[in-house]
Amino acid sequence: MKFRAPIAWSQLSHGRIKLLLAIAGVLFADVLMWMQLGFLDAMFESATFVPQRVSADLVMIHPQSQALFRMTQFSQRALHRVPAHPQVESIQAGYVGICDWRNPWTQRDRQIFVYGFEPFRVPMDVPGLAEGWGQLRNPDVCLFDKKSRIEFGDVPKALAEGREVQAELNRRKMHVVGLVEIGASFAVDGNLMTTDTNFLRTFPERKSGWIDFGLIRLKPGADIVKVQKELQATVGKEVSLLTRQEFVDFEKAYWQKNAPIGFIFTMGTAIGFLVGFVVVYQILHTDVANHLPQYATLKAIGFTDGFLWRIVLQESFILAILGYLPSVLFAFGMYKVAADATHLPLKLTAFRAVLILLMTVTMCFFSGSVAVRKLRSADPADVF
Amino acid sequence: MSTEAIAETFDKETTTQPVIAASGLCFSYGTGELTKQILFDVDLNIMPGEIVLLTGHSGSGKTTLLTLIGGLRTLKQGRLEVLGRRLDGADKDALVQVRRQIGFIFQAHNLLDFLTARANVELVFRMHPEVRRAEVQRRAAEMLTAVGLGQRLDYYPSSMSGGQMQRVAIARALVAEPKLILADEPTAALDSKSGRDVVNILQRLAREHHIPILMVTHDDRVLDIADRIVHMEDGRIVS
């Protein structure tokens, strides 16, 4: 074909209201998909924020641990057997726990997540931790996650104004001496970082030496997988040794399989897809039905079915693009609002933009393919 | 050679080969006990350049005959040749190929309401991609001017009268230089003046381009354009 008069566009744009409705339908479906997929990713992103950033080549956990906030303790004797391996550079024991934090301004309790590590080394690569780590050697001090939910009190503002922040943590006084950046997740609303000593003072019921995980760093150039196998053979089956990626996957798997939330967001995305499909199908079907005599005429004068199908499919493609483009702007705004409200890491990624574009095109293509079936009832012999 | 001699040779050549040659056409709708036979042993020949009107009461089978000739229905019994192609036993693609050489004019104009008069006419060339865009535009405009709509090229069907829309439909039927025109009561929905205009335009263009016309009509007011009138009754040609 040497030229291409935009028949599909002429047909779509002839009825302004019809066109706007169809675009609104696609837009709605897309915004739903953006939000659901956004939250789904934010769920994984927030849950794996710490596992991704621990300064360790191997992580030791108890095999019955389910997730970072559902760890089973084990004796650190297992961890202390590790340095005998020539490739191991250092080990570091870590504790985690959940306890009440009393907001110093409102006196209201809220559960906060506390990390306690042996102090000789910065245990993870999160913003602010390296700077503040040295101050944790004093008793009853901690670093506060400035991306914790606001219900814990506006600690960052108080610190910025030079005020001393002291809160009750598990009914003990605790001084905040600095800030780190971790962020809330679906499991925890806020985080504190401190040393093992301070941790054990805060959680008197926890026994010293029964740790939640151990960080193992290897010498430069060590073959991580090989060392992992050798160490696993040394320590036996009472503990598991994970590479950092396996540690991330371990956390992810919990949210994927054991928590219903992942399913809910996937479902929400599917519903968005379905809503868009139905709306676009309705619009295209009505459009075809209203033009049946004309389509039959075109068939009568020699146009093929394929020609007419292409018009309808082109219409569905145009709708997909016209609905998708504004949805990106919507998503941008709504991610900002939702991220401010939930402190979850909602980010508009290129990957998701492409994914949703493909889903939109597929959705509209399905609608178009079902709507063109109506074209079969355009019988050219009925025109006379 | 004299003009007369040329005309004679021309006549000889063309009269030897009918545009439509039908013999023994039978057609029925439905199956089994519900079968209703519509056409009985119909013979019909139409020569190049001929304008033939097909008259008869409703139900006499004239529209069915037209749809068979136009390749819009498959023939089950009888022999039918249109524009040199056998239609009895022809497959779907062959029927489409024949239809592309025919200019159809329907009782309802069935223009696409979302395209302008010009775009409706230009649309036909989507079946002839070898024609360049500039020529498509020129020929569509010329044809619309020939049917008296040169001032209304960019009007949408909704802002035209019935007669004007039917004239657009004529332009659409003629623009790709068909070798045969099939028309089904093109004046039925029009008042007498517009109806007359439409038929006059059709006759003039057919004569100019030497295109044969087979037209089904009820309309006594337009019988004078015909070279020949074929009358049908109860599925048979009676005169």
Lowest mean pLDDT among A10-14, A281-285, A316-320: A10-14
> Do residues A188 and A269 share a domain?
no
Q: Is the pLDDT of residue A2 over 60?
A: no
pLDDT for the residue B195? 84
Domain annotation covers residue A71: yes
Q: Is the pLDDT of residue B10 over 80?
A: no
Other beta carbons within 10 Å of A258:
12
> Do residues A91 and A120 share a domain?
yes
DSSP assignment, residue B115? S
Residue matched to tokens 């994914």: A355
> Do residues A211 and A264 share a domain?
no
A/B interface, count of CB pairs below 8 Å = 77
Please say whether the beta carbons of A184 and A344 come within 8 A. yes
> Any CB–CB contact under 8 A between A303 and chain B?
yes
Amino acid at B206: A
> Do residues A306 and A345 share a domain?
yes
pLDDT tens string A236-287: 889 999 999 999 999 998 888 877 788 888 899 999 999 999 999 999 999 8
> Do residues A214 and A301 share a domain?
no
CA nearest A296 in B: which residue? B110
> Do residues A192 and A320 share a domain?
no
Q: Is the pLDDT of residue A1 over 60?
A: no
CA nearest A7 in B: which residue? B115
> Do residues A376 and A267 share a domain?
yes
Q: Which band of pLDDT confidence, cut at 50, 70 and 90, is reported for residue A3? A: very low
Residue A369 to chain B, least CA–CA distance (Å):
22
Domain annotation covers residue A249: no
> Any CB–CB contact under 8 A between A17 and chain B?
no
> Do residues A371 and A233 share a domain?
no
Domain annotation covers residue A52: no
Q: Is the pLDDT of residue A341 over 90?
A: no
> Any CB–CB contact under 8 A between A2 and chain B?
yes
> Do residues A26 and A164 share a domain?
no
Number of separate domains in chain A:
2
pLDDT for the residue B198? 84
CB contact under 8 A, A291 and B119: no
CB contact under 8 A, B126 and A14: no
pLDDT tens string A50-108: 999 999 999 999 999 999 999 999 999 999 999 999 999 999 999 999 999 999 999 99
Q: Which of B96, B102, B133 sits opposite A3 (nearest CB)?
A: B133
Domain annotation covers residue A253: no
> Do residues A114 and A219 share a domain?
yes
Q: Which of A1, A14, A302 sits opposite B113 (nearest CB)?
A: A14
Domain region containing A196: 63-238
Q: Which of A293, A307, A384 sits opposite B67 (nearest CB)?
A: A384
Q: Of A238, A271, A287, which marks where a domain is finished?
A: A238
Q: ipTM, 2 decimals?
A: 0.83
B73 contact residues in A (CB cutoff 8 A): 381
Q: Is residue A123 classed as helix, strand or coil in its secondary structure?
A: coil
pLDDT tens string B184-217: 888 887 788 888 888 888 888 888 888 899 999 8
Average pLDDT over residues B225-233: 89
> Do residues A175 and A267 share a domain?
no
CB contact under 8 A, A302 and B127: yes
Helices H / strands E in chain B, number of each: 7, 10
Q: Which band of pLDDT confidence, cut at 50, 70 and 90, is reported for residue B33? A: confident
Average pLDDT over residues A105-124: 94
Other beta carbons within 10 Å of A157:
11
Residue of A2, A9, A301 to mutate when probing chain B, most B C-beta within 10 A: A301
Domain annotation covers residue A338: yes
pLDDT for the residue B16? 63
To 10 degrees, the CA torsion angle through B30, B35, B38, B40?
130
> Do residues A106 and A225 share a domain?
yes
